[in-house]
Chains A and B, each alone.
Chain A
Amino acid sequence: MLNDVTEDQKNNLPVFTMNYPRIQIPFEITLWVLLASFAKIGFHVYHKITIWVPESCLLISIGLIVGAIMHSVHEEPPAVLTSNVFFLYMLPLIVLESGYFMPTRPFFENIGTVFWFAVVGTLWNSIGIGISLFAICQIPAFGVQDINLQENLLFSAIISAVDPVAVLNVFEDVSVNEQLYIVVFGECLFNDAVTVVLYNMFSFVAEMPVVEPVDVFIGVARFFIVGLGGMAFGILFGFVAAFTTRFTSKVREIEPLFVFMYSYLAYLVAELFAISSIMAIITCALTMKYYVEENVSQRSCTTIRHVIKMVASISETLIFFFLGVVTITTDHEWNWGYILFTLLFAFVWRGLGILVLTQIINPFRTIPFNMKDQFGLAYGGLRGAVSFALAFTLPDTIGRKQLFVTATIAVILFTVFLQGISIRPLIEFINVRRTNRNLETINVEIHCRLMEHTMAGIEDLCGQWSRFYWKDKFMKFNNRILRKILIRDGRAESSIVALYKKLELQNAMEILDTASGNIKLLMTKKFLAADLRNIHDILSKNMYKIRERTVAYRGKHALPNDSQTREILIRRHATIRRSLRPRSFQSSVSYLAQFICIILINYLFCWEHDHETLSEVAYPSQRSRFGKPARSSSSKAMIPLHRLGTLEEVPSTDVLNEESSSTGQGVFRTNSSYSDSRVPHPRRLYSLFDDNNSEL
């Protein structure tokens, strides 16, 4: 017994132990994510690479390299691409990002076309490819006679899922016309939903020994139930989320959580009932976005956008990365005939499909697609993540599963590399219709609204029920009912006013920018105290009202960082005070200038929210892009401020007389003040925001 005790006592307290199995799973996940992220950093070291080679190609290449390394040390890659992990964790994030950043106005204007291509196009592709492959299978030379029709259809459903991530980036860079962009974008999004539905249907059918016509009918009915049910769920959850955020003013820190939780919930509940979860999450995001962004604080809004972009980016990166890895480490079954024909048919059917479908839908479009657009559409049909995952989750009962996996990987690699790399020069070569992005002026906004109202009026006059009519009705419904319920401070606001306020704000910032370098204070001999008070009243009336509204986010490229702005403002304060030289009749003006600046500074914390009509001009972007709208004219927008000119000048006095007489409104006679205030616009304004957004 004594020996036992001594032996026990020899086990001292360990100084250093390792317990790998306990942390293994989270540790490996973290390492993989980091590795993929390093790869992404690496690409941007050489800026030119990402222009010519899309990121997905690079990621796959890195994945291939890592896969080769792993294969040579006989390691197994993690089982990331099991059904649950992909469909429950990775896919919702990608789809949420696409749905959240979808430009709504072009989308709703082209909604018919988008759904036409997504639904009918996918059906055309999958059935076409399936039947042709089945025909090929009958040829004994290829040795694939054991694949029956159902399995072929299943495979072709997998293959027809389009994922033009790379193409969208190119389109954005080239500023391709809005219609083409939104159709490609929308098609990609909704055809994921259609593919998943088809996949489920066909895999169910593949396991049935006999297919009867009744089953076909049931299939079609199920298709509609799944699609519409998904949408209904999405809208429901979207409204609930919007309603919840109405009450979150006291718990700002967890506001972003609601957005994520409700979207994810929509996804999961839809999965529960086996209806289209992708549709659910997309419609949830679309519905929610507009109302939530008005309710939440500006920081929460930023957080939401940042986080969505981040997780979606990670998810996508990981998928492409694993595509590369798995390509090497999987057992492949190669069959020249089947795979080559798959490639051929994928191309051919897509091209044919686009051609035929465009011919049918062009008469219904106000801007028909020309041949170049069609080429862009057809060529932009890359395959990607969803095909890959679906192939991996094929049930093992399918005899030729390995062949299918190999074929899918082959098609993905081929399309991503070949088409992804060549699409950019091709698009530029054939000179697809471009769009003009710099349309953010007040005049444009006013006239767009004018046109809409005119068209709605003409339609009413003619007794037509058409697009403008519905849009009008919806906007009225929105303003009268929905906004009151879902938004905390539900006043209806015109998009023109919103744009005006936004432009005023930017204007103010530009003035501050110039103010630090070179104070230009225009003053007049007859600058009376009464005028001062008038101007004060006008400014306060217009500005303080706006202050109460919730701060919102203008777009991913214009994110004001509070602390930085504050710092700048403090510096401005100091500069203004320092550079003002006291002169007898100008001291009042200097006070006015300071006062105005202070008001503007307060104004800066109350950015106006963007009406949906504005944010839609910005395309959702996967890379950092700074849309700099032409600002050459907006600095003139703030008229009272432009009465401030140079110290030396003595402007015409009628300017201010008119001002004070008409309570300081719209003086638009351009006099000396005009020419003075025309300073070159420093783009420093945007550099404030650049630093914050360079990662986006």
Chain B
Amino acid sequence: MYNYRYYCKNLHKYIHIVDVCFFTVSQEQIKNLYQRFQQLSGNHEKISRDDLERIPALNNNPIRKQIITAFFDKRNQHQNDVGSLDEIGFEQFLMVMSHFRPVNSTATEEEKAIVRKQKLRFLFNMHDTDNDGIITLDEYRTVVEELLSQSGAIETEVARSIADAAMLEVASTNVPHMAPDDFYEGITFEHFEQILKGIEMESRMSIRFLDMNTATMRCGKLSS
């Protein structure tokens, strides 16, 4: 079902990619991901946005646009590029997925901090759509509106006031002594880290790439 030879040739490269980020992953898991990649891309070498948008299970997710965009975001590739790609290959796919690996229990405190930072960075990039390094009020509003859009009865006004409240919270936690004429630009990455300081990311943002369920694999593409 997948191009085994191509896969084997590049396996060491793939493992290297994921290992770079202090994650360890077994060959089994990389193979699973590769199978999924092949299925999503229709056995091509690259995935485009349309491929991901065709996944039916994602339809009900309120932030599906952001998730899909995250895959094509250059900032998630651990290089210092900005902008977005049109299509991604398996290596880039793997890079993005590596954000969600659980931390090895043998990792040191430093490594854990790095991992946590990477996960937070991923979330930050999801908000910061214009790549300017800060989350402005509008960007935050967009996210909150999308999150709440699923509940149906929420009007935009309520969503916006919630976003505003959240921004104020960040502002007051991080910049407690604002002068009367100060203008709070937006949430920088440091502020972002600060407000999410107490949450543990290890359990909330990790997936174990276990064996794929063949039923869902078949359902991964629309029949049309």
Contact = CB atoms under 8 A, between A and B. Distances in A.
Interface stretch (A1-9, A159-167, A664-672): A664-672
Contacts of A639: 161, 164-165, 168
A491 B66 CA distance: 27
A494 interface: yes
Determine chain A's interface SS by DSSP, over half rule.
helix
A464 B212 contact: yes
A670 B178 contact: yes
Interface string B177-215: 011111110000000000110111111111111101100
Contact of A454 (B63, B179, B203): B63
Interface residues of B, number: 75
Interface in B28-84: 33, 36, 39-40, 52, 55, 57-58, 60-64, 66-67
Nearest to B60: A476
B139 to A, nearest CB: 13
A668 B204 contact: no
Given A444-B195, A491-B153, A496-B162, A457 B63 contact: yes
A366 B164 contact: no
A637 B40 CA distance: 43
Contacts of A504: 165
A451 B204 contact: yes
Contacts of B66: 454
A307 interface: no
Nearest to A437: B198
B144 A496 contact: yes
A463 B61 CA distance: 14
A132 to B, nearest CB: 32
B137 A668 contact: yes
A447 B67 contact: no
A623 interface: no
B208 A675 contact: no
Interface in A285-302: none
A634 B161 contact: no
Central interface residue in A459, A460, A503, A675, by most chain B CB within 10 Å: A460
Given A367-B203, A670-B182, A461 B158 contact: no
B151 interface: yes
Interface in B145-189: 147-148, 150-154, 157-158, 160-173, 178-184
Central interface residue in A455, A492, A670, by most chain B CB within 10 Å: A670
Interface string A137-180: 00000000000000000000000000000000000000000000
Central interface residue in A443, A493, A496, A674, by most chain B CB within 10 Å: A443
B157 A542 contact: yes
A671 B153 CA distance: 33
A632 B174 CA distance: 11
B178 A675 contact: yes
A663 B157 contact: yes
A496 B61 CA distance: 16
Given A457-B63, A500-B162, A636-B172, A666 B141 contact: yes
Interface in A638-693: 638-639, 663, 665-672, 674-675, 678
B165 A500 contact: yes
B152 A460 contact: no
Central interface residue in B63, B100, B180, B213, by most chain A CB within 10 Å: B180
Nearest to A466: B207
Contact of A366 (B143, B160, B202): B202
Nearest to B191: A443
B196 A444 contact: yes
B151 A462 contact: no
Contact of B173 (A453, A455, A633): A633
Nearest to A491: B153
Nearest to B33: A462
Given A438-B198, A457-B64, A633-B169, A497 B180 contact: no
A466 B208 contact: yes
Interface in B94-123: 97, 100, 102, 105, 123
Contacts of B102: 366
Interface in A455-482: 455-466, 472, 476
B126 interface: yes
B115 to A, nearest CB: 13
B217 interface: yes
A446 B166 contact: yes
Contacts of A637: 165, 168-169
Interface string A426-452: 000000000010110111101111111
A587 interface: no
A450 to B, nearest CB: 6
Interface string A611-650: 0000000000000000000001110111100000000000
A564 interface: no
Contacts of A493: 151, 153
B162 A450 contact: no
A447 B164 contact: no
B212 A463 contact: yes
Given A462-B97, A494-B147, A672-B180, A454 B205 contact: yes
Contact of B170 (A443, A464, A678): A443
A465 B213 contact: yes
Contacts of B205: 451, 454-455
Given A496-B147, A667-B164, 13 more contacts: A109-B203, A446-B166, A447-B123, A454-B63, A454-B67, A455-B205, A457-B58, A461-B58, A496-B144, A639-B164, A639-B168, A663-B157, A668-B171
14 contacts: A442-B165, A444-B195, A446-B166, A447-B196, A448-B199, A452-B204, A453-B147, A457-B64, A476-B60, A494-B148, A494-B151, A542-B157, A633-B173, A670-B182
Top 10 A-B residue pairs of the complex, sorted by shortest distance between their CB atoms: A666-B164, A460-B57, A637-B165, A436-B198, A636-B168, A672-B180, A633-B169, A457-B67, A366-B203, A494-B151
Interface of B: 33, 36, 39-40, 52, 55, 57-58, 60-64, 66-67, 97, 100, 102, 105, 123, 126, 137, 141, 143-144, 147-148, 150-154, 157-158, 160-173, 178-184, 195-196, 198-210, 212-213, 216-217, 220
